[in-house]
Amino acid sequence: MVGELHAGDPRAAAAAGTARFLAQVDPARPVAVAAHFDADGLSAAAILVQALRAAGRLAEPVIVGKTETPWDGTFAARLLALAPGGLVLADLGTRPAAVLPDMPTLVIDHHRPTGTPPAAITLSGHGLEPEPTSALIAWWAVGALGDQADLLWLAGIGLVGDMAEGAGFAELADAQARWGKTALRDATSLVNAPRRTAAADAGPALRLLLACDGPKGITKGEGPDAEALRAAKVEVREAVEAARRVAPRVVSDVALIRFTSPCQVHPLIAQQWRGRLRDKIVIAANDGYRPGWVHFAARSASGLDLLGFLAKHRPAGADGRYGNGHAQATGGALPLPVWDSFIAGLGF
């Protein structure tokens, strides 16, 4: 267990940790809010940025691009260009390396930690029962800045986006009662679409999450940003249709589906085959997402710990992009030659 949410009330601990973080930040400088580009990460960013600005703080969202992680030098340069006084990392993983050394840092995350971030205040929901998503932890966190009831729909989008709808959080029930279950679900589906497209431009979704006062602003929106989300859904649907025609190859307990698409549809393909090959470890591998690399998603319906499985089969040359996430939903990215030795090790 890493971080501060595991002793006592996680809601109070999230707010207390955030207050301590903000006390370290020079208020004349912006807080850089770095986030993942899925519905949970973008909603977490929208919650943090809006609550910080409403409290009179400067805050700027910085969203990772396609294949980018905060631990890449390119991303650190984007952060430093803001001359931030503090850094929030939302829904980006919990790793044992600093993104910006010597920068006050708040980690908000729910993926399985691969270590303890040095000198950061870490709000990790991993292992809590039920497990909160990053947007919900972000909403708890900004409780440090006053009442945030009007931002609760954003936490709802994060929960729906990461399939925590059935986890039993009272916050989601409250959000559904106020803004509508269907509207939250439909808005989540739209916000989640662009990250799977070839361009993976999170801009339109983030602008809508920052500007709207509820999910219907997204589902009923008519501007270019809402239009971009609808176009993204069409692009992704067509890419899924193409990839689902590929037949799996099975070697012992692993089923491999290999295809080429610029879209991040490998998690969707793995999820679909998981339901049909219930005793297999399903690996959907996409060699068109990034030239020279294979991006893959692993799923299993058998309850096997896939993080453990990938750790056992870790090829030489794999880096921090390999084998992160959740026990039942993981994957990674490997350069082509490393991928070849990985699947050779699995018997392919």
Q: Which residues bind Mn ion (CB under 5 A)?
A: 40, 91, 133-134, 162
CB of 269 to Mn ion, least distance (A): 20
Q: At its nearest, how many Å lie between Mn ion and the CB of residue 125?
A: 9
Q: Count the residues in the chain.
A: 348
In the bound state with Mn ion, the residue whose beta carbon lies nearer, of 134 and 272, is: 134
Nearer to Mn ion, 184 or 254 (CB): 184
Nearest to Mn ion of 133, 219 (CB atom)? 133
Phi, psi of 274 (to 5 degrees): -55, -40
By beta carbon distance, the residue nearest Mn ion is 40
The minimum distance between CB 89 and Mn ion, in angstroms, equals 12
Identity of the residue numbered 136: L
164: enclosing H helix or E strand: none
Q: Which is nearer to Mn ion, 40 or 225 (CB)?
A: 40
The CA distances from residue 279 to 29, 214, 310, 312, in Å, are 53, 41, 17, 19
Say how far apart CA 181 and CA 179 lie, in whole Å.
7
- Angle, vertex CA 38, rays to CA 37 and CA 41, nearest 5: 75
345 near 323, Cβ under 8 Å? no
Q: Considering beta carbons, is residue 11 or 326 the nearer one to Mn ion?
A: 326
Amino acid identity of 154? L
- The least distance separating Mn ion from the CB of residue 27, rounded to whole angstroms, comes to 29
Q: Which is nearer to Mn ion, 57 or 110 (CB)?
A: 110
Instruction: Put the strands of the sheet holding 329-335 in their side by side order.
Output: 249-251, 254-259, 281-286, 293-300, 329-335, 322-326
The least distance separating Mn ion from the CB of residue 236, rounded to whole angstroms, comes to 18
Could you give the 3-state DSSP secondary structure of residue 283? Answer: strand
Evaluate whether 183 touches 216 at the Cβ level (below 8 Å). yes
SS3 250: strand
Nearer CB in complex with Mn ion: 44/58: 44
CB of 90 to Mn ion, least distance (A): 9
- Residue position matching structure tokens 């803004």: 179
Given a contact cutoff of 8 angstroms between Cβ atoms, the answer to whether 151 and 171 are in contact is no
CB of 32 to Mn ion, least distance (A): 19
Nearest-CA neighbor of 31 among 46, 47, 52? 52
Closest CB to Mn ion among residues 91, 287: 91
Tokens of 294: 């294979």
